């Protein structure tokens, strides 16, 4: 069973929050979290001491911000594409079935 970790951490000024969030979602970091997580009643928890032991790649802040900006741009682009596709699907679903049959049979 795969779980989605929900962690709230406070970062100092040497780390970009978006960069750290992206690092936390990598396989290497998730595996570290899974190794130290305590499981009980269908939930997993991790104490602050174990969390401090999690290792992530932390380049200089300028590089973190550059990478975070790229991630933000790609995420925004993906969100726009998703919205366009949802709108197109809604338009297709709104077409009468007979019209779609005619279109796919080359009758339009």
Q: What pLDDT digit, counting tens, does each position of 46-70 carry?
A: 888 888 888 888 999 999 999 999 9
Q: Is the torsion defined by CA of 51, 53, 55, 56 positive or negative?
A: positive
Phi, psi of 44 (to 5 degrees): -115, 145
User: Which residues of the chain register pLDDT less than 70?
Assistant: 1-6
Q: How far apart are CA 91 and CA 43, in angstroms?
A: 41
**What is the chain's mean pLDDT, rounded?**
85
Sequence-distant contacts of 28-31: CB under 8 A, at least 24 apart: 29/54, 29/55, 29/56, 30/5
Specify the pTM.
Answer: 0.61
pLDDT of res. 62: 96
pLDDT of res. 1: 43
């Amino acid at each position: 069973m795969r779980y989605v970790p929900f962690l709230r951490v406070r970062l100092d000024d040497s780390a970009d929050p978006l960069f750290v969030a992206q690092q936390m979602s990598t396989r290497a970091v998730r595996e570290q979290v899974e190794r130290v997580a305590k499981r009980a009643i269908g939930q997993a928890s991790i104490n602050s001491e174990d969390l401090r032991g999690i290792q992530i790649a932390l380049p200089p802040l300028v590089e973190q911000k550059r990478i975070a900006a790229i991630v933000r741009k790609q995420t925004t682009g993906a969100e726009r594409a998703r919205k366009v596709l949802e709108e197109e699907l809604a338009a297709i679903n709104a077409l009468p079935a007979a019209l779609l049959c005619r279109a796919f049979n080359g009758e339009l």
